[in-house]
Chain A
Amino acid sequence: MTDAISSLPTQLPPARRRAIPPDVAAARVRRRYASERTFKALGFGALALTAVFLVALLTSIIVKSLPAFSEHRAVLSVLVDAAIVDADGKRNADAIRAADYASLTRAAITAVIPGIEGRTARKALNGLLSSGAADDLRDRVIANPSIIGTTIKTPMLFSDDVDLYLKGDTGRHTAALGAAELTPSDVKGDITLTAANQSFAALIADLEREGVANDAEAGAHVLDGRIPSRVVYINGGAVKVVKATANTLAGPVLLPLSSVTPAQAGSWNLTTYVQPESRRRISDQEIVFIDKIRSAGAIERGFNWRFFTSGDSREPELAGIRGALIGTALTLFVTLILCLPIGVLAAIYLEEFAPKNWLTDIIEVNINNLAAVPSIVFGLLGLAVFLNYFNLPRSAPLVGGLVLALLVLPTIIISARAAIKAVPPSIREAAIGLGASQQQAVFHHVLPLAMPGIMTGTIIGMAHALGETAPLLMIGMVAFIVDVPTSISDAATVLPVQIYLWSDLPEAAFQQRTAAAIVVLLGFLFAMNGAAIWLRNKFERRW
């Protein structure tokens, strides 16, 4: 063998080079540049396309969610009537709690718009406020019983339809100032407004264009909910137009008039609400009331704290994500305390201690396979094992956390192994060469160095768990749960499931809340991924 080494040729033959004509060489260079340019353009195109989709998606969600982050309230004076709240005068907490606060809020809003008679109109007026308004008042009185018997100014939550009306463009209208003197026949009830000189010819023409023919029986054009509504504002009141002739308008009074004195030209107007009444969630009567409250300066718009502080509700304006957030936190807590130690220990064992044989090979392959198993399968497993076999509570974060831990475990093991493997063997050798045991080498040197990588993997795994819905549906975390959970065995739901539940509901306000909840979820995901990147950069080491 020595001979073989010494007999190696000491000089290599000179390399053969074919002479290339300059024009061919130039063409070759050009082709190379061209193909490089094409490739760059294609890559940039792909990136741009992705970015466009991403931006479009995010913008659409954020824009859709924005209304859900604010709410409208009527700031009204309310008399906290001692006779209702505290009938026996003993300041009994239970009595105070059980009192009829809805009657107080009703009284407060009736005070703003007095003189409303008739059941429908009263119902419409009272329906403007959310049922949460009375609950808020109750909370306020319980917190501070000294206000009993006094009149306080308090914000009262509007119902979701009113809120949407105030936020949206349902109230789009055009107003035409009256061109002639108009005389009302009464101040309330069904009245007729009379003018001279064919004043309403233009209106009649409009109605004809909208497909309303003259009704021979009524002797007038009859307006219904399928065409834009017309309301006459006159003498401080409002009259809905139901029948129109060239000289008269007739219909119910929506807001009582102050007098029957003829209104001068220019002092009244005919307002057209572009959206037909049948196509909106709010009636002409309600619009008139809201506008009246607004003109009284009693409407405020504020941040929707309730969205973050209350649980789910059937009423969109009262629904919040607190329950889902706490449920998510409890679930992820269970997941984390299970899969971090188990995952890290499994990774350490596999990487540092396990003998390399077919058994560990099989385990390794199966861990990688598990990471690719569809998440719903873990849900079925949870249903079969945790609920049916171990009889753990249904819908509970405990079970959700167990299922998600199974789901995340492979991810954590794989990333922890990668992080441990990335620690240079020289560090391990240095420790072992100094007489450290294998275990000491791992726990004193390898693990601390692998920790940032392990944390990164864990955070990404948890982010994965945070967005998971399917397996939780299987174990019943999809129920409608109003109460905010307080322990891991309470029934709860999680953020993505809450989104799924809300997205199914017909109310427009729930659609906005769905988007808002998605924004919150995305916020958490971004924060977690950001933390992972930050950790990675902060602890990135060069050996």
Chain B
Amino acid sequence: MENSTVDLSAIERVEAARTAHLTAGAKPAKVLAHDVNVYYGDKHALQAVNVEIPDRGVMAFIGPSGCGKSTFLRCINRMNDTIASCRVTGKITIDDQDIYDRSLDVVQLRARVGMVFQKPNPFPKSIYDNVAYGPRIHGLTANKAELDEVVQSSLEKAALWNEVKDRLQDSGTGLSGGQQQRLCIARAIAVNPDIILMDEPCSALDPIATAKVETLIDELRSNFCIIIVTHSMQQAARVSQRTAFFHLGTLVEEDSTKTIFSNPKDQRTQDYITGRFG
């Protein structure tokens, strides 16, 4: 294949973007991936991915099923560590710190990089305990009052407070699907991460709940760096500022959302967003 040429161009692009930032006096990228390869046993699931994800704002990953979006997302908070057969090479930095460095504590990394999963997965505990769990294990609050405050503000940020404030002790699993997903977002926010990873957060939700979550993402982007995987082109267009297109384990193209959807450089991107395959 034409892997090598794609690789080179990608690296060049990343380097160009980097220098552009620096010359423009902008902050360097929040997340930087350099030549990331992921293997599941013998299967080469991600090939030489290079990407730069800016701080603040929403980055969308799109691409056909099985192309490695989730795999890459899970590299960023090292959730792939839990899969025995999975091996990651290359370099990923967050704030210029190599997250695969031996000295880095993975627990602390995950406290900085929150994750929201495709299927809402609240703990079968009370709503309060769901949100309070992160702050508790990381010792973020000194006393009950502070914890109450964190829980409330997290639920408020997740636009769920008004719906659950009278039943914080009810089970989190008793909420509707959309509420559960917002609860999971609140739970992720409660540990005050820099980055929030969302893997198809709306795929199990109806349009109304989806709209609520999208509004929420829109509000959160001024405070967090959000990376969202989605199969909905409309959703990517609505919520993200930048979009990356993955195909068969490679990152084909990454650019501002507007450019990707109006004027993609690669034929495969063009085919995908016009619904030719995928």
Return chain B residues, CB-CB under 8 Å to A424: 121
In the assembled complex, 25 residue pairs joining A and B whose CB atoms fall closer than 8 Å, in A order, are A356-B84, A427-B121, A427-B124, A429-B79, A430-B187, A431-B123, A431-B133, A432-B79, A432-B82, A433-B77, A433-B79, A433-B117, A434-B134, A434-B137, A434-B191, A435-B110, A435-B134, A435-B138, A436-B107, A436-B133, A437-B107, A440-B137, A445-B123, A449-B124, A541-B173
Distance in Å from the Cβ of A281 to the closest Cβ of chain B?
64
Interface residue ranges of A329-360 to B (CB < 8 Å): 355-356
> Top 7 nearest A-B pairs by Cβ distance?
A435-B111, A426-B121, A433-B115, A435-B110, A434-B134, A430-B121, A5-B277
Return chain B residues, CB-CB under 8 Å to A355: 84
Return chain A residues, CB-CB under 8 Å to B84: 355-356
Distance in Å from the Cβ of A5 to the closest Cβ of chain B?
5
Contact B123 A430 (CB under 8 A): yes
Q: Within the assembled complex, what's the spacing in Å between the Cα atoms of A1 and B77?
A: 31
Contact B271 A435 (CB under 8 A): no
Is A10 on the interface with B (CB-CB < 8 A)?
no
Return chain B residues, CB-CB under 8 Å to A541: 124, 173
Is B91 on the interface with A (CB-CB < 8 A)?
no
Is B34 on the interface with A (CB-CB < 8 A)?
no
Return chain A residues, CB-CB under 8 Å to B121: 424, 426-427, 429-430
Name the residue of chain A whose CB is nearest to the CB of B129. Answer: A444
Is B184 on the interface with A (CB-CB < 8 A)?
yes
Distance in Å from the Cβ of A489 to the closest Cβ of chain B?
44
Distance in Å from the Cβ of B123 to the closest Cβ of chain A?
6
Is B276 on the interface with A (CB-CB < 8 A)?
yes
Interface residue ranges of B253-277 to A (CB < 8 Å): 268, 271, 276-277
Q: Within the assembled complex, what's the spacing in Å between the Cα atoms of A433 and B107?
A: 9
Q: Within the assembled complex, what's the spacing in Å between the Cα atoms of A235 and B107?
A: 101
Q: Within the assembled complex, what's the spacing in Å between the Cα atoms of A196 and B228?
A: 121
Q: Within the assembled complex, what's the spacing in Å between the Cα atoms of A438 and B79?
A: 11
Distance in Å from the Cβ of A36 to the closest Cβ of chain B?
39
User: Which of B124, B191, B276, B277 meets A435, CB within 8 Å?
Assistant: B191
Is A6 on the interface with B (CB-CB < 8 A)?
yes
Interface residue ranges of A366-416 to B (CB < 8 Å): none
Known: A432-B110, A434-B137, A440-B137. A1 touches B248 (CB 8 A): yes
Return chain B residues, CB-CB under 8 Å to A53: none
Interface residue ranges of A486-543 to B (CB < 8 Å): 541-543
Return chain A residues, CB-CB under 8 Å to B268: 2
Is B114 on the interface with A (CB-CB < 8 A)?
yes
Return chain A residues, CB-CB under 8 Å to B134: 434-435
Q: Within the assembled complex, what's the spacing in Å between the Cα atoms of A113 and B123?
A: 79
Q: Within the assembled complex, what's the spacing in Å between the Cα atoms of A437 and B115?
A: 15
Q: Within the assembled complex, what's the spacing in Å between the Cα atoms of A356 and B84?
A: 8
Q: Within the assembled complex, what's the spacing in Å between the Cα atoms of A426 and B108?
A: 20
Q: Within the assembled complex, what's the spacing in Å between the Cα atoms of A426 and B199?
A: 13
Q: Mark B161-192, 1 if CB is under 8 A from A, else 0.
A: 00000000000010000000000100110010
Is B157 on the interface with A (CB-CB < 8 A)?
no
Q: Within the assembled complex, what's the spacing in Å between the Cα atoms of A445 and B136?
A: 14
Contact A434 B133 (CB under 8 A): yes
Is B119 on the interface with A (CB-CB < 8 A)?
yes
Name the residue of chain B whose CB is nearest to the CB of A4. Answer: B277
Return chain B residues, CB-CB under 8 Å to A1: 248
Name the residue of chain A whose CB is nearest to the CB of B121. Answer: A426
> Which of B117, B137, B188: most chain A Cβ within 10 A?
B137
Interface residue ranges of B97-120 to A (CB < 8 Å): 107-111, 114-115, 117, 119
Return chain A residues, CB-CB under 8 Å to B173: 541-543
Q: Mark B119-148, 1 if CB is under 8 A from A, else 0.
A: 101111000000001100110000000000
Return chain A residues, CB-CB under 8 Å to B82: 428-429, 432, 438
Q: Within the assembled complex, what's the spacing in Å between the Cα atoms of A298 and B134?
A: 76
Distance in Å from the Cβ of B47 to the closest Cβ of chain A?
14
Q: Within the assembled complex, what's the spacing in Å between the Cα atoms of A542 and B138?
A: 29
Q: Within the assembled complex, what's the spacing in Å between the Cα atoms of A541 and B107?
A: 29
Q: Within the assembled complex, what's the spacing in Å between the Cα atoms of A542 and B122?
A: 12
Q: Within the assembled complex, what's the spacing in Å between the Cα atoms of A340 and B191?
A: 35
> Which of A429, A434, A438, A449: most chain B Cβ within 10 A?
A434
Distance in Å from the Cβ of B213 to the closest Cβ of chain A?
17
Name the residue of chain B whose CB is nearest to the CB of A432. Answer: B82
Distance in Å from the Cβ of B155 to the closest Cβ of chain A?
16
Known pairs A436-B133, A438-B82 / 9 extra A-B pairs, C-beta < 8 Å? A6-B277, A428-B82, A429-B79, A430-B121, A430-B184, A433-B79, A434-B111, A436-B107, A543-B173
Return chain B residues, CB-CB under 8 Å to A426: 117, 119, 121
Return chain A residues, CB-CB under 8 Å to B79: 429, 432-433
Distance in Å from the Cβ of B151 to the closest Cβ of chain A?
14
Q: Within the assembled complex, what's the spacing in Å between the Cα atoms of A429 and B77?
A: 12
Return chain A residues, CB-CB under 8 Å to B248: 1
Q: Within the assembled complex, what's the spacing in Å between the Cα atoms of A426 and B82?
A: 12
User: Which of B123, B138, B188 meets A427, CB within 8 Å?
Assistant: B123
Name the residue of chain A whose CB is nearest to the CB of B278. Answer: A5
Return chain B residues, CB-CB under 8 Å to A542: 173
> Which of B121, B138, B188: most chain A Cβ within 10 A?
B121
Contact A2 B277 (CB under 8 A): yes
Name the residue of chain B whose CB is nearest to the CB of A6. Answer: B277
Name the residue of chain A whose CB is nearest to the CB of B1. Answer: A1
Return chain A residues, CB-CB under 8 Å to B124: 427, 449, 541, 543
Return chain A residues, CB-CB under 8 Å to B114: 433-434
Q: Within the assembled complex, what's the spacing in Å between the Cα atoms of A430 and B134?
A: 10
Distance in Å from the Cβ of B269 to the closest Cβ of chain A?
12
Return chain B residues, CB-CB under 8 Å to A5: 277
Distance in Å from the Cβ of A538 to the closest Cβ of chain B?
14
Q: Mark A263-280, 1 if CB is under 8 A from B, else 0.
A: 000000000000000000
Known: A1-B248, A2-B268, A430-B184. A435 touches B107 (CB 8 A): yes
Q: Within the assembled complex, what's the spacing in Å between the Cα atoms of A427 and B122?
A: 7
Q: Within the assembled complex, what's the spacing in Å between the Cα atoms of A543 and B173?
A: 7
Known: A1-B248, A543-B124. A434 touches B187 (CB 8 A): yes
Q: Within the assembled complex, what's the spacing in Å between the Cα atoms of A5 and B191?
A: 43
Q: Within the assembled complex, what's the spacing in Å between the Cα atoms of A356 and B85?
A: 10
Return chain B residues, CB-CB under 8 Å to A449: 124
Interface residue ranges of B20-72 to A (CB < 8 Å): none
Return chain A residues, CB-CB under 8 Å to B123: 427, 430-431, 445
Interface residue ranges of A441-485 to B (CB < 8 Å): 444-445, 449
Q: Within the assembled complex, what's the spacing in Å between the Cα atoms of A444 and B124?
A: 11
User: Which of A2, A427, A430, A438 meets B271, CB within 8 Å?
Assistant: A2
